Chains A and B, each alone.
Chain A
Amino acid sequence: MSALAIGGIGFAVLLFMLVIRIPIGVAMLAVGMVGFVMMTNVDALLNILKTQMFYQFLNYDLTVIPLFMLMGQFAAKARLSQDLFRATNTWIGHYRGGMAMAAIGGCAGFGAICGSSLATAATMGNVALPELRRHGYAGSLATGVLAAGGTLGILIPPSVVLIVAAIVVEANIETLFQAAFIPGLIAVAGYIIAISVVVRVWPDLGPAGVKTTAQEKLRAIVDIWPVIAIFILVIGGIYFGFFTPTEAASVGAVAMGIVAMVRGKMRFRGLTEAVMETAVSTAMIFLILFAANILNAFLGFTRLPMVLSEMMSGSGLSPMMILMLIMFIFIVLGMFMDSLSMILLFMPIFWPILMVLDFGMSVEDLKIWFSILTLMVVEMGLITPPVGLNVFVINSMAGNVSMRESFRGVMPFLISDFIRIGILISFPWLTLILPRLLK
């Protein structure tokens, strides 16, 4: 059997294992190990297993992942979400659909201190969902806006998924965090525009709020100072090179822990909960990271990624069409898979394909641009039917809104996502300018 055939069969077996609910990390590890043995021999596998896991987990750069997750968990316990929502609502609540826009603003603010989408959606949902419903917002818009707003948790740095992407394509985490900033702001703007269009066309979906005074506006900003301070400290610190990401993440986690204890009245139980939540996600991610390493070693031996890449570049498709095709594949996969596994499984295959194509930019720039675009498309998977994790979470919180309504509520935001991805593909400088300016 040719190496290529083994690679193909390995991949098919992997997908089959995923379909029958074998945990993703376990499936990747199993296929990776068996494939590795087929391509080399048993001794080679036994040899790398002796220390591979040890050295990989010991990697200093990876410690940033649990630390950022801990920071996000603390943020969820710090009860900052109420203040954030109130603050944004004071500022923009008086527009038509203003409270929904405020929810987006709150999600964006929360996303700036939390690197996880589900946590953002759940935390903001807790606060904003009852308020939206009480003020007469339709169930579809109320749940849709929060599910979509949750994706800002990952689109706006810090972002755990982006860190993993950086590891996969061997990019600099700092650079990717810088690059994600402007696209993240575009996402916020896009969602707000989506809301204003929707409530203009269907005015019964959401009302306008009351006007507030300048004094109230100022007070609201004062209330959210911990968010602003920690964001400036952590992200500013990374952007301007005061901290390594790991240092920034630990400082952020400690600062957020203190805020959670002081403002959120987090006590020992809350602390344990936050740490255990972090433990579960960390273990899941590291198992997948380790498995991805073995799997990619195997796929590398089969030359499958290289052959695919040659096939693509020899196919006569223009580089742009290949990029579009890859984005499309990610969107389809995102309907069933979670963002992290998609990045770890498919980015190592797609990146070599793109790397050799001519997009009129350097490989370094291409890497940044592609990572951000990938981040955007895999995040759409959180709100696309049939499996949109964010939509599930928010919908279950709402209780009296049907799944169909929630997915309908998400549609305007999905359209906004598509437009944003189109903009970012057409104007790569939007992504590349900030890393360049801050260099």
Chain B
Amino acid sequence: MLAISALITTVSVSLNAAFKAPILGEYEMVSFGTSLAIYLFLPWCQIVRGNIVVDFFMANASARLREAFDALGALIYMVMAVLLLWRLSVGGLELFAQAQATAVLKLPYWWSFPIILYSLALLIGVTLHGIIANVRRALA
């Protein structure tokens, strides 16, 4: 949590400073930092149930049915996260092999992959935990 807040503030402060003395490659730093923060936000968003749903039609359904559908939603999300984790590891390795980097600062793209993959792994854990909780409540 701390890391995230620090990340965002540093990003904006460094950008702010950039006006007085333009820092070379400021765009790259900002997009790098922000994009990593966004990956880290994904599991958090799932924990606090921040992903938006259309609530209207199920508002009167039984709690049990809602739990079941929530479990289904989390299950689909988990499958997506597993798929993304797998594919992005492959993609990251390729970018590493090709030594792709940003234009100005020569930041290697693969640098961000440890954090991206860690976030996705976290996301898988969070969704799995959610599914178990949902199923338990649905059966209770």
Contacts and interface: CB of A to CB of B under 8 A. Distances in A.
- Are the chains A and B members of one assembly? yes
B54 A253 contact: no
B125 interface: no
Given A21-B58, A50-B94, A272-B5, A254 B80 contact: no
Contacts of A340: 52
A251 B58 CA distance: 42
A2 interface: no
A80 to B, nearest CB: 19
Interface in B38-95: 38-42, 44-46, 48, 50-58, 66, 69-70, 72-73, 76-77, 80, 83-84, 87-88, 90-92, 94-95
Given A250-B11, A250-B15, A284 B55 contact: no
A19 B54 contact: yes
Could you say which interface size class chain A belongs to?
A: 35 or more
A33 B83 CA distance: 11
B72 A20 contact: yes
A241 B35 CA distance: 25
Interface in B7-38: 8-9, 11-13, 15-16, 18-19, 27, 30-32, 34-35, 37-38
A301 interface: no
B1 interface: yes
B109 interface: yes
Contacts of B95: 51, 54
Given A22-B53, A336-B54, A272 B1 contact: yes
A32 to B, nearest CB: 10
Contacts of A66: 8, 34, 37-38
Contacts of A33: 80, 83
B45 A287 contact: yes
B80 to A, nearest CB: 5
A405 interface: no
Contacts of B38: 57, 66, 282-283, 286
B19 A251 contact: yes
A340 B58 CA distance: 20
Contacts of A317: none
Interface string A324-335: 000000000000
Nearest to B78: A26
A53 interface: yes
A54 B112 CA distance: 9
B131 interface: no
A279 B44 contact: yes
Contact of A63 (B9, B31, B56, B58): B31
B116 interface: yes
Contacts of B73: 21-23, 26-27
B138 interface: no
Nearest to B28: A60
A280 B84 contact: no
B112 to A, nearest CB: 8
A66 B34 CA distance: 8
A70 B16 CA distance: 15
Contact of B76 (A22, A51, A338): A22
A399 to B, nearest CB: 21
A21 B71 CA distance: 10
Contacts of B76: 22, 26-27, 30
Nearest to B13: A254
A77 to B, nearest CB: 14
B136 to A, nearest CB: 18
A278 B7 CA distance: 13
Contacts of B19: 247, 251
B51 A287 contact: yes
A386 B112 CA distance: 44
A49 B54 contact: no
A172 to B, nearest CB: 17
Nearest to B69: A20
Kindly list the 7 A-B residue pairs having the minimum CB-CB distance in the complex, ordered from nearest: A50-B91, A283-B45, A283-B41, A23-B51, A280-B50, A49-B87, A57-B35
Given A50-B90, A247-B19, A282-B37, 7 more contacts: A20-B58, A21-B58, A22-B69, A23-B77, A54-B91, A279-B37, A283-B50
20 contacts: A19-B58, A21-B54, A21-B57, A24-B53, A25-B51, A26-B80, A30-B80, A50-B94, A57-B38, A58-B112, A60-B31, A247-B15, A251-B19, A253-B12, A279-B41, A280-B45, A283-B45, A286-B42, A336-B57, A386-B56
